[in-house]
Amino acid sequence: MHPLRLFGLLSHIVTLVYSQSLQTVLQDNGLTEFLQELRETDPDLLDVPAGSKLIVYAPSNEAVNGSSVIVRRDDSKDEEKKKQIARNQIHFANTIAPILRRRQSGDAGGTAAASGSVFRTLLNGSEFVNLGPGKNQSVVEKSLSGAPRPEAVFSGLGAKANVVAADIPFDGGVIRPIDQFLVLPRNLSTSLPALGLGDFKSALERTGLLETFDKATSLTILAPQNSALENSSCWWSDAKLTSALKLQVLVDFPGYTPLLKNNAKYRTLGGTSVTVVIRDNKIFVGGAEILAADAIIKNGVLHTVDRWVSAASPPSPPPIVAAATGLSLSTHHWILVVMGMAVATGFSL
């Protein structure tokens, strides 16, 4: 066959593959249980316009069959369906956005942490999102081994879903197969005990700050591990404990780790600033090392740190500060997906 004819045939095949709908590609690639879930709970999600550039995180059949939405005993059928729809929405991420890239090699001296991405999803219900007007809930992708493609997706309650196969293209973006459902974010009160941070929750309750943190918008919570509180908060005065707790909160900025930049300074609820230091693939905020990162909460993100945050931290290279904004995305008005805003760092389609 003449090379030009062969090229034309291959181009036609590629066009056919990329022109297939989400519904068709899920069916043809054996992701039938997730497809059925979408059909039953929110079929509008399947009508993705071509060119939308979405990432659809598709749980395996085993994950769908072994999972259920957590409902309360007093939830009505309508409430249960709302939660199912919300869980589906968090699996659709928008990639049309300004892209902030972190170099794999890092800043001078090799100080960068592992790169990653933050994407806004279609999830915008007030039960699970409180990030400010027009801002949908986010998820975080990371490459844990330094591979060029994402290997894990972080969502609510510190859950990590592993990426189990290469991206599968469809006409509205790509399907990214994962080994479990993403988890809906909860408020801080619910997330802390689920992450084994009960002592920090107790300290917030003692000082009356827990309800304040639950209701605030766009926060980063730096929660010390339980052992860091054992020899301090129990004998501190309420005033001293309150001051210390306010240093654990970055305000007006959900600091997902891919957005944290070496030597950037962020304002705390206590009125002071803390500095981020990235060194040897570790991230320190106000001298405290992040041990477990990117547990998505209703109003931001929660990181577990090894100690109390201090307002003073070691000097680093010049600051680079990143801010993100987003537009609300309605699953029933897909044009907003094409025009919507998300924040992504590191990976691209």
Dihedral over alpha carbons 161, 163, 132, 239 (to 10 degrees):
40
> Hey, is 257 helix, strand or coil?
helix
Tokens standing for 217? 């918008």
Mean pLDDT of 103-115: 45
Quick check: 341 pLDDT over 60? no
In 3D, which of 170, 162, 177, 249 has the Cα closest to residue 207? 249
pLDDT band at residue 33 using 50, 70 and 90 as cut-offs: very high
pLDDT band at residue 89 using 50, 70 and 90 as cut-offs: very high
Tokens standing for 123? 């999830």
Quick check: 109 pLDDT over 70? no
Quick check: 264 pLDDT over 70? yes
| pLDDT score recorded for residue 75 | 57
| pLDDT score recorded for residue 148 | 80
CB 340 within 8 A of CB 135: no
| pLDDT score recorded for residue 147 | 78
Measured from the Cβ of residue 134, the count of other Cβ atoms closer than 10 Å reads: 13
| pLDDT score recorded for residue 74 | 53
Q: CB-based contacts of 15: which residues, under 8 Å, 6+ apart? A: none
| pLDDT score recorded for residue 347 | 44
Quick check: 321 pLDDT over 50? no
CB 207 within 8 A of CB 245: yes
Q: CB-based contacts of 120: which residues, under 8 Å, 6+ apart? A: 93, 94, 97, 135, 136, 137, 138, 326, 329, 340, 341, 342, 343
In the block, tokens 């981020």 appear at 276
| pLDDT score recorded for residue 311 | 72
> Residue 85 and residue 37: Cα distance in Å, rounded?
9
pLDDT tens digits, 53-70: 999 999 999 999 987 655
> Residue 269 and residue 251: Cα distance in Å, rounded?
6
Quick check: 156 pLDDT over 90? yes
Quick check: 231 pLDDT over 50? yes
Enumerate domains of the chain plus CATH numbers.
3-136+138-184+330-339 (2.30.180.10), 188-305 (2.30.180.10)
DSSP character at residue 222: E
Phi and psi, residue 239, nearest 5°: -65, -45
H or E stretch at 302: strand 300-305
Residues pairing with 58 in the sheet: 177
Quick check: 308 pLDDT over 50? yes
pLDDT tens digits, 66-80: 876 554 445 567 888
